[in-house]
Structure 1
Amino acid sequence: MHDVSDPERETEWQRRRRLAEVFGDALPETTSDERAPEEARAADTDAWLKAQVPPHHGGH
């Protein structure tokens, strides 16, 4: 935890980071533009969506 004796001297990004740590959403060390693009996940593809169609809906 950060020790902030005077909340008024805390910068906006420090406040956001402190709140994120308290509520479990710590900020990442890098931003998305600094990381390599992720491969498309199976859940993001049309194939996954089509596989979820029940047989009685004319799926396969």
Structure 2
Amino acid sequence: MASSIKVTAPTTDRNAWVWGFTPQAEVWNGRLAMLGFVSVVLIEVFSSQGVLHFWGLL
């Protein structure tokens, strides 16, 4: 006799917030670091001065 109950494997939410050094945290850290690096390069290219001079810190 075949069962009519469908069995599914438990799933985990890959986007759930987990504290600590997790693969998701490292991915976001890398993405934000890339954005920061690109923004610094663009500031230096378009303003013809370093970031610290651009912000008036030097």
Give the TM-score of the pair, scaled to structure 1: 0.29
Based on CA coordinates, which of the two structures has the bigger radius of gyration?
Answer: 2
Give the TM-score of the pair, scaled to structure 2: 0.30
* Higher RCO (C-alpha under 8 Å, 6+ residues apart): 1
